[in-house]
Structure 1
Amino acid sequence: MQGLKSEELADMAGVSRSTLSRPENGDASVSLATLLDVCNTFVVTDRIIDAVDPYETDCGRARASQGLPQRVRRLT
């Protein structure tokens, strides 16, 4: 989205320009909902979801399998 002004991006995301500038300046107090609104504007929400999905990393898959039972009894 080269050439897009920050005011235009803020309008597309439904936030104010000052809210949009906060994460740009390292302010961590921006809500997750606002951050996802901006990500939706850039159409990168799926990439964000993949980045935090525990099944997308070797470590996450290993930890997820730790919670599974070792044996499952068959019901008859």
Structure 2
Amino acid sequence: MTPIPVRRAIRELGKDTQTWRKLLGLTMEQVADRADISRSTLAKLESGTGGVSLETALRVFRALGIMDTVVNSADPYRSDVGRLRSEEILPQRVRQSTPKSVSDA
């Protein structure tokens, strides 16, 4: 089951994608053709029903000219936390720490 905040974000992203398409004066057929996907797949993305791959979404964003903006928004070094921690060396792996037993304390 998809968590409610994720479903909400999918719907918002779909609505925003549709708004971008309309602001640019493009039809669904034009965007689908430019993204090399079917019109029905674009309709799924725009309606926010989910089930569209990340690659497909990025193809659509590229066709709309917003792919770099979307990708850059996830860049951790463009966030306050990322900038504050940018001097730290990132570990190669992040492992879940094991809880200490009472005898270890």
- What's the TM-score bracket when you normalise by the shorter of the two chains? 0.7 to 0.9
* Matching residue of 2:89: 68
Within 5 A, what are the aligned runs for 1:1-76? 1-2=24-25, 4-65=26-87, 67-68=88-89
Q: Which residue of 1 aligns with 2:10?
A: none
Q: Which 5+ residue runs of structure 2 have no aligned equivalent?
A: 1-23, 91-105
Gaps of 5+ in 1: 70-76
Conservation of the 8 A alpha-carbon contact between 1:54 and 1:64: no
Q: Secondary structure at the match of 1:28?
A: coil
Aligned residues: 67
Q: Quick one: distance in 2 between partners of 1:11 and 1:63?
A: 42
Deviations 1:1-53 (A, max 9, x none): 21x21112111110101000112111221001100111111121111121000
The CA deviation at 1:68 is: 2.5
The alignment's TM-score, normalised by the length of structure 2, stands at 0.56
Percent sequence identity over matched residues?
Answer: 39
Q: Distance in 2 between matches of 1:22 and 1:61?
A: 36
- Structure with greater contact order relative to length (CA < 8 Å, sep ≥ 6): 2
Moved over 4 A (4+): none
